Chains A and B, each alone.
Chain A
């Protein structure tokens, strides 16, 4: 039924606030060319292209994959365009995976991007949804109450958020592609930064980046041919729930819990904290690290902050989280999820450079979007699934 699928290679751009040195096609090709070189494939090897990005209003182009078709090598081939809010980079990778798992294609190129400097993302986000009170505070203002609620429910000490931020930014300084390079950041300097949306401080907030990420996925034969080993896809999961309804738990959403449960079940994992070696989790605001550790089932509810506080999520810890620097170091919105997925793949392929987790054999890539309501995730391994 489901065919084996693997990551053959990955690539990403240097992420910056404004990549005005390149056009959109130029930005995408920077990531695609690196992914294809990493995968050692040529255009003739690519059967189909799957592109993902967040709202078209962020660049001011309607369905930009249409004008990008030549630049991304899709002309004459099947081209799909995915949009599932902030989780899109992850779900785009999963649809590309499905093209291989269904036996339709042998090698698929998938790419996700955001080039916010083309337009004005804050304008793009200043929407007036019918029948809803406009938040008028951007993503930080939207999520700050969820964080406050988490702190109240878990009794987490207030420095945990700063610990996450300092860790991820220092990790980012090991990643030459990361937008923010802050090797000297400390918990104290994070705590001294401007309060933006209580309790989220400036240094606990993701940047706004231009950037792209690409991967080449392939079938079993293509995966077998990868020198040093491919990243084999062991399990995938996607879940969605509505933005608002009475009784909804926005801190620990059921859609995320059910997606994780489905993922662990498919991969045959019963104790994720012991069995997973590294996790790239979508953490746009520092406190989402402990929140998602709980939502993903790594630890029981209320315990996530203890893992972070103990240093277990740092490089060299029991479960390194976001060794690449994560969303807190680079946030090209539409690509951020695919970056998580590809960084997980790089770890199990042993291609993560200065932030390689020693002996990483099993890695999680995770993305979420909307009002914590869209979840996509995959589990990759250095060995084929049993």
Chain B
């Protein structure tokens, strides 16, 4: 089986609201141009295209169809789409290269969270018969999860504020970040609750954004970048949707994905944690020690473009391997309420 590597990454500016249409495909044209410029490739070089997005975010059926226009898909292309974060589209593209069907794939995710009221839309991911009618929104569910950890002594509100402060400080070096800058932990703890025990800094911002990654077999990737980020492992699992049947302070699906991977010697991690306490759950599930650098990009707490934030974690981790800053990294993507579904990818310099 050929090894697969990440050869290029680009992302749109992460912003509170773009001026485009509700499906947000306008964000794609500039980032396709960007990633082609970085890699020296053109659309004719791409053997397979795969994307992730959501009709509910756009508020209309078949919203992803317009993205084909952003590609300029003629002559016709070999293409597919997942109604998931594009990290899972990357998984599909990885399969296609591994089985030798194509040499190069382009993966993209996009979403315009500002098109609706995000926390309320995400309530539609719950059981439509017995849970959604109560309209528990995504932030309230995360609040329950955070409360359970607090009561179990797994974290304190100060621990959470420190994660927020570190993330924002790191995001200062990330021009694509939506939220950044130096903040004082004590001042953060003085702010009011949004959904007790969560404060504004514990919650990812509402973000419009998009990201794109080019994958290829390793031989091809070496022609494109000096240090390709080789995908030495990628695993994903899903947990039960029944919130009351899960120990919400753990992430069994992340643990199971990690157990199938070799995380020894990981130097940095890009974790898709839209809430501060979820970073701690993920660090524990992945068994990451104190010496592992967490979210040098600032992470999802500083920019959370729905349906591309997970892909962007993989891209951010790959960028640090491309630059020589790290030799082994782990990237993570999540989907669903309270970390229900998780994907873990290991990237290595070779």
Contact = CB atoms under 8 A, between A and B. Distances in A.
Interface string B87-104: 010011001101111000
A74 B336 CA distance: 14
Contact of A67 (B69, B100, B127): B127
B95 A75 contact: no
Nearest to A255: B76
Interface stretch (A98-106, A210-218, A279-287, A294-302): A98-106
A103 B237 contact: no
B327 interface: no
A210 B255 CA distance: 37
B182 interface: no
Given A62-B124, A80-B92, A95-B80, A125 B61 contact: yes
Contact of B73 (A95, A118, A240): A240
A55, A129, A242, most chain B CB atoms within 10 A: A242
A102 B98 contact: yes
A297 to B, nearest CB: 15
A258 B76 contact: yes
B84 A80 contact: yes
A242 B238 contact: no
A185 interface: no
Contacts of B337: 66
Interface in A108-167: 118, 124-125, 127-130
B165 to A, nearest CB: 32
Contacts of A1: 1-2, 99-100
Q: Is the interface of A mostly helix, strand, loop or mixed?
A: loop
Interface residues of B, number: 65
B121 A62 contact: yes
B84 A63 contact: yes
Contacts of B256: 76
Interface residues of A, number: 63
Interface stretch (B52-60, B263-271, B275-283, B314-322): B52-60
Interface of B: 1-2, 21-23, 49, 54-56, 60-62, 64-66, 68-69, 72-84, 88, 91-92, 95-96, 98-101, 121-122, 124-129, 131-132, 235-242, 252-253, 256, 335-337, 340-341
Interface of A: 1-3, 23-24, 54-64, 66-70, 74-85, 91, 95, 98-99, 101-104, 118, 124-125, 127-130, 238-243, 245, 248, 253-255, 258-259, 370, 373
Closest 3 CB pairs of A and B: A1-B100, A55-B61, A255-B76
Given A83-B55, A103-B98, 13 more contacts: A1-B99, A3-B99, A63-B54, A63-B83, A67-B126, A68-B241, A69-B238, A76-B256, A85-B62, A98-B95, A238-B78, A238-B80, A242-B69
